[in-house]
Amino acid sequence: MATLGSKLGLLAAGLLLSGCVQTTTYQETSQNVLKPRDKELLAKVSYVKTPVAEPFRRAIVDYHRKETPGSIVVDSDNHYLYLVQDGGKAIRYGITVGEEAMAWSGIAKIGNMAEWPPWHPTQSEISRLGVPKFVAPGPDNPMGSRALYLYSGGKDTLFRIHGTNQPEYIGASISSGCIRLTNEDVIDLYSRVKPGAVVVVLEPKHGDSPVNSKLALQGSGTGPF
């Protein structure tokens, strides 16, 4: 028999989760943002198109931070990227982020944008991962369908917001430092931002998400894999 304390705990969790549902509107990818090349290359991917767990699906959510509309905020703790909108709203995307030892945080700007970019691994990645110095654009390139290049003080930080050929890891921390979205989500994000947009990558343990993704995953009975 459940105790009063356990009942209250379940009620509190239920209220929190129901609050998330009430303020969350999930979005599908609009065919209008997919170019003929996108459709062609996305049809050729060799990776398994794993469904993204519900808490990490693209959604319009309430948002209380003070960044101006058009800014991007990355909450690595909860594996979310927010594109700030007018009226206290944001578009929230599930992401994969760099492992804690490799994670970068700070304020940057989008210095460059590219569709189906090539991959130029850093020397560290070449040594650590055994990858070539150059990987041509394509459906299985780790950079995916789009890339936003982050600059700080006029210099390339070498960190990117980009697609992925490993969508099964959305909601996890495994990459070598970059911020990854599904190819469909990064195409959507790319269509909404411009060079010069501010990108705020929150410090680890300083996440400011309207929803705790771990609690939401427990409540939905799903995981990021």
225 within some domain: no
Domain count, the chain: 1
Find the angle CA(204)-CA(94)-CA(117) to the nearest 5 degrees: 95
Active site residues: 162, 178
pLDDT score at 13: 38
Q: Is the pLDDT of residue 16 over 70?
A: no
Cβ-count burial 98-131 (b if 16+ within 10 Å, e if not): beeeebbeeebbbbebbebbebebeeebeeeeee
Q: What is the CATH number of the domain that holds 70?
A: 2.40.440.10
| Residue 96 domain-assigned (yes or no) | yes
The 3-class secondary structure across the chain, one letter per residue, is CCCHHHHHHHHHHHHHHHHHHHCCEECCCCHHHCCHHHHHHHCCCCCCCCCCCHHHCCEEEECCCCCCCCCEEEECCCCEEEEECCCCEEEEEECEEECCCCCCCEEEEEEEEEECCCECCCHHHHHHHCCCCCECCCCCCCCCCEEEEEEECCEEEEEEEECCCCHHHCCCEEECCCEECCHHHHHHHHHHCCCCCEEEECCCCCCCCCCCHHHHHHHHCCCCC
- pLDDT tens digits, residue range 154-165? 999 888 999 999
125-137 pLDDT tens trace:
888 888 899 999 9
By the 8 A CB rule, do 81 and 97 touch? Answer: no
Task: State the pLDDT confidence band at 19, using cuts at 50, 70 and 90.
Answer: very low
pTM of the entire predicted model: 0.80
Enclosing domain of residue 81: 4-220
Please indicate, yes or no, if residue 105 is contained in any of the structural domains: yes
CA distance 112 to 129: 26
Higher confidence at residue 199 or residue 157? 199
